[in-house]
Amino acid sequence: MSAVLSIEDVWVRYGDLAAVRSANLEVQPGQVAALIGETGCGKSSLALATARLLPANARITGRIAIDGQDIVPMSREELQTVRGIKVGFVTQDAMAALNPVLPVRRQIGEMFEAHRGRNRHDAEELAVEALRSVQIHDPEGVARLYPHQLSGGMRQRVMIAMALALSPPLIVADEPTTALDVSTQAEILRLVAALRHELGTSILWITHDMGVVAELADIVAVMYAGRIVEQGTAEQVFDAPRHPYTEALLRTLRDLRGGERGGHMYQVPGQPPSLDSAITGCPFHPRCERASQVCTDIDPRPEVSDGVRVACHHPKLPVPEGASG
Amino acid sequence: MTGSGSERGGAIRRFPPSLLVGLGLLGLVLAFALAAPLFGNPTNQDLTHGLSPSGLPLGLGSPGYLLGSDPLGRSELPRLAYGARVSLTVAVVSNITSLLVGATVGIVAGFYGGIVEQALMRFTDMGLSLPTTLTALVIAAVLPGGMLRVLIIITALFWAYPARLIYGEILRLRHRAFVEAAEAAGASGPTIMRKHLLPHLSPLMITYFPLNAVSAVLFEAGISFLGAGVNPPTPSWGNMISDGESAISYAPHLLVEPALCILVTTMAFVLIGEGLKVMNPDLARVSWLGA
Amino acid sequence: MARRLIVRFGLAAVAVFGVVVLTFILQYVIPGDPAKLLAPRAPSAAVLQSIRDQLHLDRPMLLQFAYYLGGLLHGNLGQSYVQREPVTTLIAQRLPATGMLALAGVVCEMVLGTTLGILAALKPSVRRVMYGVNLLLLSTTYFVLGLVLLLVFGFRLGIAPVTGGEGLPQLVLPAITLGLIGLPWYAQIVQDAMRDALSSSYVRTAMAKGLSERRIVMGHVIRNVLSPVVTMTGLDLGAYLSGVVIVETVFGWPGMGKLAVDSMSNLDRPVVMGTVLVGTIAVVFFNILADFVRWYIDPRTRIEPA
């Protein structure tokens, strides 16, 4: 079975700075892949790269194949056959991402006009159906509205409907729930879970909040300083994290969730390195409890064992089955 | 927001070229205006030496009339220089007065709100609806010609736009924390307006100043051209063009010279405005050129 | 929507009323005795008195204002001192000419300005040239540019008419003058709006939807650009009308503006008042129109102000 999304040795550079270094990731049909990391770790750059939506001064090297086709060398016209059709994009700030002067039905409808050759009237009817499919209760009413008249959660549903309109095999969602309040977040997550079930769409979900994707994700990739430092199935990464950064993130999450430590929340000490700092060795070593001399000198290459890919000199290997209770 | 301390210091260290060129041009015009008495008498009509044998104005480079003469035998050079005085006075004085009136209206309306706000804003609407040239003509008819008339007309017609601009700013600033804090501390209205609101308005007013200067200079030229501003024999670039209008087909310098003077002066202010905008990008909404 | 209309009209009416009061007061300060000006040659005292009675010139000011208002509401703007005709007739005769010129000028400035603004936003070479062009055009004014164009194209090159008149050939230079002076304002607004739109999140979304560049520019960008253009047009009107007045005078275009200026020199008070009033009403009216066009184009402005 060929992967829906295949990212091979992808670098994203802005001038001399590398925002993404040698990223490797595969998403199979029907899988949900979570890409997790702090702000500035390069996850957004990688997400935008998958649809070639980076600004003009960005350079992508490597191979990004959507449904088998490498999009990196594609021209603008060729990309128009991929975007929207093979990959749908959902962004964070729907208020800014939707055109303020067009009603919702036009914004969704134009996808049918442009790609399926429908006329305006049919396209707008299909738009209403698309809205219905994202569990909006009054799709005809909402279709007539303008973005500023909708609530944040509703706008996000509209964006999802727009991304799913042509039933693409892959959705890339860049922090889709970050700007929403907690209960709306939960709603959207439920919606996405249901849709994924129904449609079998693959999703690449980018977020800084592990908790959000914990339930949903099949595979998890953790990013730090432009590198994917740990990658595996959700069980592997959440239950037995190998990279110290992953461990630290999970600890923060548990503290947030549990709240039983009496107000003493774990924070990963230090700051992630900025894009232009000259890092030698492992980028995490200044903040790492397990760092040694080799960590300062050599940037660890990712190594795979048991299906988990980890870039660390001192990965914490899981205790073999049956060894402890 | 507008930078503090080090940000401002950094900006001052790199003045944009537009600002420098603008200030340079303005300096030239100022020098020209100040040197006016050196160039001779602007009102001296010499129908024998000042005109050609056939009675036509002298052209560029004629001996004794470096920039030519006008149909009444007056030398253009001193006239242009004294005209520079008119334009510069207008650019500064009427600019300041209209800004002051407008700012006062805008601040009072925005700050006090209620019926004062409504009344002042209706008044401002009126000011904005007046057709400027026509109203200038009407006001001109009742006042004796000269600089004072020009200053009054420009102040009366130009206060409304800055009033509206500043009113808008005050509305945005009114509910900011520092105003509420000052009110809570018991500061009086005028004090708050003076000590807290005014400093925040300064960047806006400073950036609007050159824009207003351009409008004022061009407007004065226009109404002097129509005879409703500075009247002959006092030269203004506008009335000089009017004097020479009938002769422009055979004596184009009568049009071109004052026109170039106007161009250089206004361009100076436009460039200064552009430069200030570059230094203070959040004020780009009062800008014009798009580099 | 109806409420908004009423409020808008109400505000406009207040502004117009204010101008009416102002023009009435100004009548008092303009020199010249109306009775003498209106009377036939060598009038007798009795004739002068009867004219005074007709114009209610001896009555208290407030009463005169009442008559004036009454007259206005009946569409009576008084009688020209110079031409022995009702002011309304004179203005009505000239209005079409001014309308034609104003329209031609607006079309010029909007078409030229918008096109250049769009091009400047899309191509850096155009942008550099536009900086210089805008700088030059912003530094000049209607009568200067008009006379220069007249000199070059009329007198030197002989391809434009140099005498006044109302025909199409005579329309060209004045309309171009109006258009060129207004051009940089539109070009700048459009360029800024294009720049904002092109780098906006929603254009990126449109790209993410796989839409063609043409569809993105036409369907998404242009609509967002139109809104500030309409706002600009609305704000521009007062200054524009002034420009029309001056351009008519310079080129001898027989419109309302030229009528006003000529009447000024003739001390023909009622005509001047009439033109100021009509001008104000026009500005107010077109402002409201611009508001409603923008209301239609940009749904964000439909939210009632708090």
The DSSP string of C53-97 is HHTTTTS-HHHHHHHHHHHHHTT---B-TTTSSBHHHHHHHHHHH
Rounded CA separation B118/C130 (Å): 41
Q: Which residues on A lie below 8 Å from C297 (Cβ)?
A: 101
Q: Which residues on A lie below 8 Å from C299 (Cβ)?
A: 100-101, 103, 146, 148
**CB neighbours of residue B146 within 10 Å:** 13
Strands A5-14 and A17-27: antiparallel
Shortest alpha-carbon distance between residue C200 and chain A (Å): 8
Burial of residue C167 (number of CB atoms within 10 Å: 0-12, 13-18, 19+): exposed
Q: Which residues on C lie below 8 Å from A102 (Cβ)?
A: 219-220, 223
The model's confidence at residue C289, banded by pLDDT at 50, 70 and 90, is: confident
Give the mean pLDDT of B99-105: 92
Rounded CA separation A28/A31 (Å): 5
> Both tokens of residue A22?
């040698």
The model's confidence at residue B284, banded by pLDDT at 50, 70 and 90, is: low
What ipTM score was computed for the predicted complex, to two decimals? 0.82
Q: Which of A8-17, B50-59, C62-71 has the highest mean pLDDT?
A: A8-17
Say what the pLDDT of residue C1 is.
63
Has residue A29 got a pLDDT over 70?
yes
Q: Which residues on C lie below 8 Å from B125 (Cβ)?
A: 11, 14-15
pLDDT digits (tens, 9 = 90+) for A97-145: 898 888 999 999 999 999 999 899 999 999 999 999 998 989 999 999 9
Residue of C144, C164, C149, C176 whose CA lies nearest to C248: C164
Shortest alpha-carbon distance between residue C210 and chain A (Å): 4
Percent of chain A surpassing pLDDT 70: 93
Query: Does chain A reach chain C with at least 3 CB pairs under 8 Å?
Result: yes
Q: Are B142 and C29 in contact (CB < 8 Å)? A: yes
Say what the pLDDT of residue C306 is.
33
Residue of A76, A60, A73, A50 whose CA lies nearest to A21: A60
Tokens 């892949």 appear where?
A33
Say what the pLDDT of residue B268 is.
95
Say what the pLDDT of residue B53 is.
74
> What residues have CB less than 8 Å from B162, skipping those under 6 apart?
B98, B99, B102, B103, B106, B205, B208, B212
> Both tokens of residue C58?
């001896």
Give the mean pLDDT of C263-291: 80
Task: Report the SS3 class of residue C260.
Answer: helix
Q: Which of A303-307, B72-76, B85-89, B181-185 has the lowest mean pLDDT?
A: B181-185
Nearest CB partner across the interface for C18, out of B126, B134, B255: B126
CA A284 to chain centroid, in Å, comes to 22
Rounded CA separation C118/C124 (Å): 11
Q: Are C212 and A111 in contact (CB < 8 Å)? A: no
Task: Report the SS3 class of residue A222.
Answer: strand
Q: Are C210 and A148 in contact (CB < 8 Å)? A: no
Nearest CB partner across the interface for C204, out of A53, A146, A148: A53
Task: Report the SS3 class of residue B289.
Answer: coil
Rounded CA separation C288/C306 (Å): 20
Nearest CB partner across the interface for C120, out of B214, B238, B290: B290
Say what the pLDDT of residue B216 is.
94
The model's confidence at residue A46, banded by pLDDT at 50, 70 and 90, is: very high
Shortest alpha-carbon distance between residue B246 and chain C (Å): 11
Contact (Cβ atoms closer than 8 angstroms) between residue A155 and residue A177: no
CA C97 to chain centroid, in Å, comes to 13
Nearest CB partner across the interface for B270, out of C29, C139, C275: C139
Q: Which residues on B lie below 8 Å from C187 (Cβ)?
A: 290
Question: Which residue in chain A has the smallest CA separation from C223?
Answer: A101
Task: Report the SS3 class of residue A237.
Answer: helix
Question: Which residue in chain B has the smallest CA separation from C235?
Answer: B128
Q: Which residues on A lie below 8 Å from C230 (Cβ)?
A: none
Say what the pTM is.
0.74
Percent of chain B surpassing pLDDT 70: 91
> What residues have CB less than 8 Å from B154, skipping those under 6 apart?
B90, B94, B97, B98, B216, B219, B220
Choosing among C11, C20, C29, C138, which should be mutated to test the B contact, i.e. which has the most B CBs within 10 A? C138
pLDDT digits (tens, 9 = 90+) for B27-70: 999 999 999 888 888 887 877 777 777 777 777 777 778 888 88
**CA distances (Å), C169 to each of A272, C151, C251, in order?**
71, 16, 12
Strands A219-224 and A32-36: parallel
Amino acid type, B74: R
Task: Report the SS3 class of residue A157.
Answer: helix
Amino acid type, A141: G
Question: Which residue in chain B has the smallest CA separation from C116?
Answer: B290
Q: Are A114 and C298 in contact (CB < 8 Å)? A: no
The model's confidence at residue A319, banded by pLDDT at 50, 70 and 90, is: confident
Percent of chain A surpassing pLDDT 90: 39
Task: Report the SS3 class of residue B276.
Answer: helix
Has residue C8 got a pLDDT over 70?
yes
Q: Which of A282-291, B90-99, C20-29, C291-300 has the highest mean pLDDT?
A: B90-99
Q: Are B138 and C273 in contact (CB < 8 Å)? A: yes
Has residue C288 got a pLDDT over 90?
no
Nearest CB partner across the interface for B252, out of C140, C151, C260: C151
Q: Which residues of chain C are at the A interface, by a Cβ-Cβ cutoff of 8 Å?
A: 200-202, 204-213, 215, 219-220, 223-224, 227, 297-300, 303
- The set of chains that have 3 or more CB pairs under 8 A with B is C
Say what the pLDDT of residue C79 is.
74
Residue of C142, C123, C130 whose CA lies nearest to C188: C130
The model's confidence at residue A158, banded by pLDDT at 50, 70 and 90, is: very high
Say what the pLDDT of residue A325 is.
44
Nearest CB partner across the interface for B241, out of C143, C239, C265: C143
> Both tokens of residue B126?
């009126």
Shortest alpha-carbon distance between residue A26 and chain C (Å): 21
* Cis preceding-peptide flag for C169 (omega within 30 of 0): no
Rounded CA separation A19/A12 (Å): 6
**CB neighbours of residue C155 within 10 Å:** 14
Nearest CB partner across the interface for A84, out of C210, C227, C298: C210
Q: What are the b/e assignments for C55-71, b being 16+ CB within 10 Å?
A: beeeeeeeebbeebeee
Task: Give C242 or C259, the one with higher predicted confidence.
Answer: C259
**CA distances (Å), B158 to each of A188, B136, B289, C83, C273, in order?**
54, 11, 21, 33, 20
pLDDT digits (tens, 9 = 90+) for A203-253: 999 998 888 888 889 999 999 988 999 999 998 888 888 998 888 888 877
The model's confidence at residue B3, banded by pLDDT at 50, 70 and 90, is: very low
Q: Are B141 and C272 in contact (CB < 8 Å)? A: yes
The model's confidence at residue A62, banded by pLDDT at 50, 70 and 90, is: very high
Tokens 């708050």 appear where?
B192
Shortest alpha-carbon distance between residue A22 and chain C (Å): 24
Q: Which of B253-262, C13-22, C189-198 has the lowest mean pLDDT?
A: C13-22
Q: How many residues does chain B have?
A: 291
Say what the pLDDT of residue A83 is.
92
Work out the angle between the directed axes of helices C269-297 and B114-129 (0-180°, nearest 10). 110
> Both tokens of residue A106?
């036009």
The model's confidence at residue C133, banded by pLDDT at 50, 70 and 90, is: very high
Burial of residue A277 (number of CB atoms within 10 Å: 0-12, 13-18, 19+): exposed
pLDDT digits (tens, 9 = 90+) for A258-310: 654 445 556 667 777 776 676 778 888 888 888 888 888 888 888 888 888 89
Mean pLDDT of chain A: 86
**CB neighbours of residue B10 within 10 Å:** 10
Question: Which residue in chain C has the smallest CA separation from A78?
Answer: C210
> What residues have CB less than 8 Å from B178, skipping those under 6 apart?
B196
What are the beta bridge partners of residue A36?
A: A207, A222
Give the mean pLDDT of B11-29: 84
C151 close contact with B: CB closer than 8 A: yes
Question: Which residue in chain C has the smallest CA separation from B130?
Answer: C280
Helix (H), strand (E), coil (C) string for A89-131: EECCCHHHHCCCCCCHHHHHHHHHHHHHCCCHHHHHHHHHHHH
A228 phi/psi in degrees, rounded to 5: -85, 110
Question: Which residue in chain C has the smallest CA separation from A84?
Answer: C209
**CB neighbours of residue A235 within 10 Å:** 11
Task: Give A19 or C14, the one with higher predicted confidence.
Answer: A19
Say what the pLDDT of residue A261 is.
47
What are the beta bridge partners of residue A89?
A: A172
Q: Which of residues 184-223 of C touch B (CB under 8 A)?
A: 184-185, 187-188, 191-192, 195
Nearest CB partner across the interface for A101, out of C211, C213, C224: C224
Contact (Cβ atoms closer than 8 angstroms) between residue C77 and residue C69: no
Give the mean pLDDT of C194-205: 86
Question: Which long-range contacts does A154-159 make (Cβ < 8 Å, 24+ apart)?
Answer: A155/A94, A155/A95, A155/A98, A156/A90, A156/A94, A156/A180, A156/A184, A156/A188, A157/A131, A157/A188, A157/A191, A158/A94, A158/A98, A158/A104, A158/A107, A158/A108, A158/A131, A158/A134, A159/A90, A159/A91, A159/A94, A159/A97, A159/A98, A159/C205
Has residue B159 got a pLDDT over 90?
yes
